């Protein structure tokens, strides 16, 4: 083999045949289905020009929608961290009646189509609904308000924190806790100084996953949100509305921002996951 | 009362009595940590409180909505339920959903396998980037996933005029629905297979090749049998998402009744027309699909775990 | 089959796995590649098998360049470190695999395959396990299946990567002997990779000692043990004691005492003396070149060892010496030690300057 081709070699030679074929097909298919369409969208947005792009994004309605989407997604993710931790803790640490079923149920938001969740939540929380009827006398209105969006986003985010924290909690060496306790640490100190630092990467990963999912969520939100402009209109919905008005430029500008955030979140999540693996 | 039993159990202390001499069934509210660790847990009231919070949270946010779907669906009796499902528009939506899901599962199965093979069986630079790009559709808003195809094939889009001139219909028709569904379910199969195949390494393939097997034989007789359960798992999740996808499909379908409506879109229309019972009847089918998916998934997980 | 390795080089990123390796493997011999981890022995084995690719150099199978023979065509029987048995196939199917995947023209009829597999299973003494799956077998049994599977294709050469690495000590010992006998029966050219010197010394016709991607020495077990070519081999094979010494005025100086030598040594400077523990004889404190206090006496089976702390010009050095049966020492005793057979290596140099009675 001439030395030139050695230095330019793309991959380690392998005895397993088929690299060219499978790599080629993978990259081609990825490009056709994912990369080219996304590139087309970015190209479309770049034709808008900077001023128009900024004008669309700083329009009051767009700003409100983006603020609402990110703000409530953030709140929902916080909520999911707190309750997700409790659920994960109870499922891995205690034995109680119905534990197996509770464990299985956690995955429902992954598997249940968003439209189904959306109409169910909207019906439950309407002022006449099973849950809404108890809240209405207290002056709490859920449907058609940001609170409704929060409920929907909590629902879609439940599995993320539970499922990232659970394996770490399971692998946590009980002897570590025993050792700490035998050294005189109180239970609370053990939790704070031994357990919490180990769980932190997993918690952050779960938070990031739940947040990323919630920011882009559409189906489960639109039914309960009522979609009042500037009040309960999320960014993905605004994209749909702009599309229906044939204002492609507006839709694309918002979409590009959301794609950008999604990509950043993906990079952060990858980092966090590597951190989690390094810790455990 | 079971709580008292738990207390005594707790005081049993170190020594792993739980595994060796204790009762076969663990006591309620006992700590689950293995051997000895149960001496090191929260007090009973705290444990009960935490369990109740966890169960309350899951009940409020998951169980009640799920139960509501079925109760609403049957609120006007079986006849109303079945007439909602046998409505021609409903049947056409069910048929379209099944066809779209079958096609996208088949396509993603094929390419998921190829992608997982190329990522796990070779060493090349940029592998992490490739995995990230395959994962990308997971984190993109479904609405954006639909939008990209509107920008490609819509009248104002890149190929819009050309498609119109040649009388090819992609947007607001089956091809766009299929493309959008393939897009959002793109990572499912590859993502399930990559960790599994990484763990299995390449030595069995090397052994097969050194015994004279061809590349294809090696794949069919050695690799495929080793990943079949993981593959099934991926198909299961891919199918559930394909059938339930709403946002992306909603953007590209055009909502033509009886033609381009999938089940989730049909649910939306019924709901917006205040046909609640009918909407929930169709929704109950998808909820059932979700439950079946999870049951099968649990069974598969047990199988995969035993394999290890 | 005779295998010649010419000038092989291989890097993994910045790590040099093989550096211009030359090796001739004679037809029918059982050769052991011995070395610490990272010495390149497994890489060499995999390149011979066609499972890895060299950056430079060639491998010749019976004089023919194997560059154009991929692993399928080389007909090597490769036994993997963790066996790599096909876990979804029975023992029988595993062994039959190589026969069944042959192109239709070369494939034997099924009844002959069955007959041959049965014979092989008998040959490796696992005929009763044919219908078991790999995860129902013990480590030793898996090893036998892996060997039967590799032998099924009537290989030109049998390559074994740490074949006993994953087994416990007792099984290792019996399988070693068994492999030796098996090789005697089959006479197929075999190359075995191991980091266990005892294994290599016991099983192999010839041993190749490797270190840092290079071949340090090739020889029979006796040659390797008794005439280590350099300090690396001396240190790696068997137990050894290293003592810093000085070369001065043609003699070897340990501290202030001169070691009795026959020949004059050239040069001046620091050096290291290598000696096997059983080559240190106990003697009078006043006469021996080494003195020290006995720290502990240990009995291991029939042998006794004494840990002697040498008083070494301020530096303490703990040395383990074997005690002759008639010698009686107790902890605290002052003793003298004389290296009977030893080698001297100049600091930084691998080649021996001199040796005494080796």
- pLDDT tens per residue across all 308 residues of chain B: 333 233 323 333 333 333 333 333 445 666 665 444 444 577 888 899 999 999 999 999 999 999 999 999 999 999 999 999 999 999 999 999 999 999 999 999 999 999 999 999 999 999 989 998 999 998 899 999 999 999 999 888 889 889 999 999 999 999 999 999 999 999 999 999 999 999 989 999 999 999 999 999 999 999 999 999 999 999 999 999 999 999 999 999 988 888 899 999 999 999 999 999 999 999 999 999 999 999 998 888 888 777 65
Half-sphere exposure of B142 (CA within 13 A, CB side): 27
Picking from A1, A6, A15, the nearest residue to C50 by CB comes out as A15
Q: Are A6 and C55 a contacting pair at CB < 8 A? A: yes
pLDDT at B186: 94
Mutate to test the interface with C, among B199, B212, B225 (most CBs of C within 10 A): B212
Q: Which among B203, B206, B212 has the least Cβ separation from residue C101?
A: B212
Shortest CA distance from A34: residue in chain B: B183
Looking at chain B from residue 213 to 242, which residues have their Cβ under 8 Å from any Cβ of chain A?
Answer: 214-215, 218-219, 237, 240
Interface check A18 vs C, CB under 8 A: no
Given the DSSP bridges, would you call strands C214-219 and C206-211 parallel, antiparallel or unpaired?
A: antiparallel
C245, C319, C324 from C330: Cα distances, Å: 28, 15, 14
Residue-level pLDDT at A11: 74
Q: Residue C272 pLDDT > 90, yes or no?
A: no
How many Cβ contacts (< 8 angstroms) between chains A and C? 10
Return the pLDDT at B29: 66
- What letter would DSSP give residue B166? T
- State whether B217 and C101 contact (CB < 8 Å): yes
Distance from CA of A20 to the nearest CA of C (A): 17
In the β-sheet with C3-12, what is the strand arrangement from edge to edge?
C15-25, C3-12, C56-61, C64-65
Write the residue in B111, B124, B287 that is nearest to A10 by C-beta. B124
B34 touches chain A (CB under 8 A): yes
State which residue of chain C sits closest to B205, comparing Cα positions: C84
**CB contacts, 8 Å: A15 with chain C:** 50-53, 70-71
The three-state secondary structure class of B86 is helix
pLDDT for the residue numbered B173: 94
Contact, B40 vs A181, CB < 8 A?
Answer: yes
Chain B nearest-CA residue for A106: B58
**Domains with residue ranges and CATH for chain B:** 2-29+78-307 (1.10.3720.10)
Report pLDDT for C161.
95
Which tens digits make up the pLDDT trace of C201-218?
999 999 999 999 999 999
Within 8 A of C82 by CB-CB distance, chain B residues are: 203
Q: Residue B120 has what pLDDT?
A: 94
pLDDT of residue C67: 87
- Contact between chains at A266 and B29 (C-beta distance less than 8 A): no
Model confidence pLDDT, tens digit, residues A210-257: 999 999 999 999 999 988 899 999 999 999 999 999 899 999 999 999
Find the range with the poorest average confidence among A35-39, C115-119, C209-213, C335-339.
Answer: C335-339
Vertex B134 angle, CA B130 and B139, to 5°: 125
A13 interfacial to chain C (CB closer than 8 Å): yes
pLDDT in tens, C69-108: 889 989 999 999 999 999 999 999 999 999 999 999 989 9
What is the average per-residue pLDDT within C259-287? Answer: 80
Tell the residue number behind the tokens 């430079």, with chain if given.
Answer: C56
CB contact under 8 A, B211 and C97: yes
pLDDT band at C358 (very low <50, low <70, confident <90, very high): very low
Which has more confidence, C260 or B244?
B244
Query: Which residues of C are less than 8 Å from A6 in CB distance?
Result: 55
Residue of A9, A11, A16, A263 to mutate for B, most B C-beta atoms under 10 A: A16
Shortest Cα–Cα distance, B32 to chain A (Å): 5
Chain C touched by A15 (CB under 8 Å): yes
- Lowest average pLDDT, out of B137-146, C39-48, C292-301, goes to C292-301
The confidence score (pLDDT) of residue B5 equals 31
Nearest by CB: A15 against C55, C56, C71: C71
Residue-level pLDDT, tens digit, chain A, 280 residues: 334 344 446 777 888 888 999 999 999 999 999 999 999 999 999 988 899 999 999 999 999 999 999 999 999 999 999 999 999 999 998 999 989 899 999 999 999 999 999 999 999 999 999 999 999 999 999 999 999 999 999 999 999 999 999 999 988 877 788 888 888 888 888 888 888 888 999 999 999 999 999 999 999 999 999 888 999 999 999 999 999 998 999 999 999 999 999 899 988 988 888 888 877 6
pLDDT score of C142:
94
Distance, in angstroms, between B287 CA and closest chain C CA?
A: 36
Per the prediction, chain C carries an average pLDDT of 88
Pick the CATH number of A35-173+200-279 from 3.30.70.1150, 1.10.357.10, 1.10.3470.10, 1.10.3720.10: 1.10.3720.10
Chain B contact present for C87, CB below 8 A? yes
Does residue A20 belong to the interface with chain B, where contact is any CB pair within 8 Å?
no
Neighbours of chain A (3+ CB pairs under 8 A): B, C
Q: Mean pLDDT across the stretch C9-35? A: 94
If one counts every other C-beta atom within 10 angstroms of the C-beta of residue C63, the result is 9
In this complex, which chains have at least 3 CB pairs below 8 Å with chain C? Answer: A, B
CATH architecture of C3-227: 3-Layer(aba) Sandwich (3.40)
What is the domain partition of chain C in residue ranges? 3-227, 241-357
Quick check: A18 contacting B, CB < 8 Å?
Answer: yes
Nearest to C98 among B211, B222, B226 (CB): B211
What pLDDT shows up at residue C151?
A: 94
State residue B43's pLDDT score. 81
How close C64 gets to chain A, by Cα (Å)? Answer: 18
In angstroms, the CA A255 to CA C79 distance is: 55
The closest of C96, C71, C70, C69 to C150, measured between CA atoms, is C96
Say how far apart CA B133 and CA B139 lie, in whole Å: 10
Parse chain A into domains and list their residue ranges: 35-173+200-279
Q: To the nearest whole angstrom, how far is the Cα of C217 from the nearest Cα of chain B?
A: 29
The predicted structure's pLDDT at residue C261 = 74
Q: Are residues A15 and C52, on separate chains, in Cβ contact within 8 Å?
A: yes
Q: 10 Å Cβ neighbour count for C317?
A: 16
Secondary structure tally for chain B: helices H, strands E: 17, 0
Percent above pLDDT 70 for chain C: 95
Query: Where does the pLDDT of residue C265 fall: very low under 50, low under 70, confident under 90, or very high at 90 and above?
Result: confident
Q: Which helix (H) or strand (E) holds C6?
A: strand C3-12
| Tokens representing residue C299 in the block | 């009995």
Question: Distance from A18 to chain C by nearest Cα, in Å?
Answer: 14
Task: Answer yes or no: same fold for C3-227 and C241-357.
Answer: no
Q: Where would I find the beta strands (DSSP E) of chain B? A: none
Whether residues A37 and B35 touch (CB distance < 8 A) is answered with no
How far is the C-alpha of B252 from the C-alpha of B265, rounded, in Å? 11
Fold assignment, C241-357: OB fold (Dihydrolipoamide Acetyltransferase, E2P) (2.40.50)
pLDDT at B18: 33
Q: Report CA-CA distances (Å) from C200 to A258, B286, C170, C213.
A: 63, 65, 16, 18
CB pair distance less than 8 Å for C55 and A13: no
């Amino acid at each position: 083999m001439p030395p030139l081709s050695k230095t330019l070699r793309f991959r380690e030679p392998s005895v397993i045949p088929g690299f060219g074929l499978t790599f080629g097909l993978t990259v081609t298919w990825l490009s056709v289905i994912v990369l080219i369409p996304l590139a087309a969208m970015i190209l479309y947005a770049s034709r808008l020009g900077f001023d128009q792009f900024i004008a669309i994004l700083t329009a009051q309605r767009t700003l409100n929608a983006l603020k609402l989407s990110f703000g409530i997604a953030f709140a929902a993710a916080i909520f999911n961290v707190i309750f997700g931790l409790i659920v994960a803790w109870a499922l891995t640490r205690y034995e109680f009646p119905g534990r197996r079923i509770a464990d299985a149920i956690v995955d429902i938001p992954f598997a249940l189509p968003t439209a189904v969740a959306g109409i169910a939540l909207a019906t439950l929380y309407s002022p006449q609904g099973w849950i809404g009827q108890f809240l209405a006398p207290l002056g709490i209105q859920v449907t058609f308000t940001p609170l409704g969006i929060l409920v929907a986003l909590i629902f879609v985010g439940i599995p993320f924190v539970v499922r990232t924290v659970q394996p770490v909690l399971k692998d946590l060496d009980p002897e570590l806790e025993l050792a700490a306790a035998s050294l005189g640490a109180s239970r609370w100190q053990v939790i704070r100084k031994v357990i919490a630092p180990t769980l932190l990467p997993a918690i952050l990963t779960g938070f990031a996953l739940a947040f990323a999912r919630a920011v882009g969520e559409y189906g489960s939100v639109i039914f309960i949100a009522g979609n009042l402009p500037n009040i309960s209109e999320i960014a993905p919905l605004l994209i749909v509305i702009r599309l229906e008005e044939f204002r492609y430029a507006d839709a694309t500008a918002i979409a590009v921002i959301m794609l950008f955030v999604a990509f950043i979140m993906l990079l952060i999540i990858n980092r966090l996951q590597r951190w989690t693996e390094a810790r455990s | 009362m079971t709580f008292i039993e738990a207390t005594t159990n707790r005081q049993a202390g170190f020594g792993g009595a739980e595994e060796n001499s204790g009762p076969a069934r663990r006591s309620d509210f006992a700590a689950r940590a293995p051997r000895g660790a149960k001496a090191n847990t929260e007090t009973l009231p705290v444990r009960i409180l935490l369990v109740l919070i966890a169960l309350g949270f899951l009940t409020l946010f998951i169980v009640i909505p799920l139960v509501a779907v079925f109760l609403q669906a049957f609120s006007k009796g079986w006849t109303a339920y079945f007439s909602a499902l046998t409505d021609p528009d409903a049947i056409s939506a069910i048929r379209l959903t099944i066809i779209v899901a079958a096609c996208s599962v088949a396509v993603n199965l094929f390419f998921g396998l190829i992608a997982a093979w190329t990522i796990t069986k070779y060493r090349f630079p940029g592998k992490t980037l490739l995995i990230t790009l395959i994962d990308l559709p997971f984190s993109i808003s479904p609405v954006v996933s639909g939008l990209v195809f509107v920008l490609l094939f819509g009248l104002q889009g890149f190929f819009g005029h050309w498609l119109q001139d040649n009388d090819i219909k992609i947007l607001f028709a089956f091809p766009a629905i299929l493309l959008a569904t393939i897009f959002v379910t793109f990572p499912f199969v590859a993502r399930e297979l990559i960790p599994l195949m990484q763990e299995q390494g390449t030595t069995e393939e090397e052994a097969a090749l050194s015994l004279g097997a061809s590349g294809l034989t090696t794949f069919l007789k050695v690799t495929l049998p080793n990943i079949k359960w993981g593959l099934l798992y991926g198909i299961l999740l891919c199918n559930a998402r394909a059938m339930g996808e709403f946002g992306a499909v909603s953007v590209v379908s055009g909502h033509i009744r009886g033609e381009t409506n999938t089940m989730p879109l049909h649910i939306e229309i019924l709901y917006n027309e205040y046909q609640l019972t009918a909407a929930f009847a169709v929704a109950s089918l998808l909820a059932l699909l979700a439950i079946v998916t999870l049951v099968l998934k649990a069974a598969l997980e047990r199988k995969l775990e035993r394999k290890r | 089959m005779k295998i010649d390795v010419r000038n092989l080089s291989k890097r993994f990123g910045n790590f040099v796995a093989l550096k211009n390796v030359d090796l001739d493997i004679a037809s029918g011999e059982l050769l052991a590649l011995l070395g610490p981890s990272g010495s390149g022995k497994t890489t060499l084995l995999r390149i011979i098998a066609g499972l890895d690719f060299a950056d430079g150099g060639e491998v010749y199978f019976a004089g023919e360049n194997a560059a154009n023979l991929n692993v399928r065509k080389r007909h090597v029987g490769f036994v993997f470190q963790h066996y790599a048995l096909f876990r979804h196939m029975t023992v029988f199917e595993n062994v039959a695999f190589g026969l069944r995947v042959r192109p239709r023209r070369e494939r034997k009829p099924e009844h002959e395959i069955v007959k041959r597999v049965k014979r092989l299973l008998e040959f490796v003494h696992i005929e009763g396990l044919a219908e078991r799956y790999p995860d129902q077998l013990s480590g030793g049994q898996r090893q036998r299946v892996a060997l039967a599977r590799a032998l099924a294709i009537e290989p030109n050469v049998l390559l074994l990567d740490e074949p006993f690495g994953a087994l416990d000590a007792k099984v290792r010992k019996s399988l070693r002997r068994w492999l030796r006998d098996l090789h005697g029966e089959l006479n197929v050219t075999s190359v075995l990779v191991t980091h266990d010197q005892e294994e290599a010394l016991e099983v192999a016709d010839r041993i190749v000692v490797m270190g840092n991607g290079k071949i340090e020495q090739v020889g029979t077990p006796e040659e390797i043990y008794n005439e280590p070519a350099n300090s690396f081999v001396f240190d790696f094979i068997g137990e050894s004691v290293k003592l810093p010494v000085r070369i001065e005025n043609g003699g070897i100086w340990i501290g202030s005492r001169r070691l009795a030598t026959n020949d004059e040594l050239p040069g001046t400077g620091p050096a290291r003396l290598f000696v096997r523990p059983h080559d240190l004889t106990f003697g009078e404190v006043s006469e021996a070149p080494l003195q020290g206090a006995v720290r502990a006496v240990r009995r291991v089976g029939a042998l006794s060892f004494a840990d002697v702390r040498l008083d070494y010009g301020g530096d303490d050095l703990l040395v383990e010496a074997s005690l002759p049966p008639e010698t009686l020492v107790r902890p605290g005793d002052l003793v003298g030690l004389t290296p009977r057979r030893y080698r001297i290596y100049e600091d930084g140099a691998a080649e021996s300057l001199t040796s005494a009675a080796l």
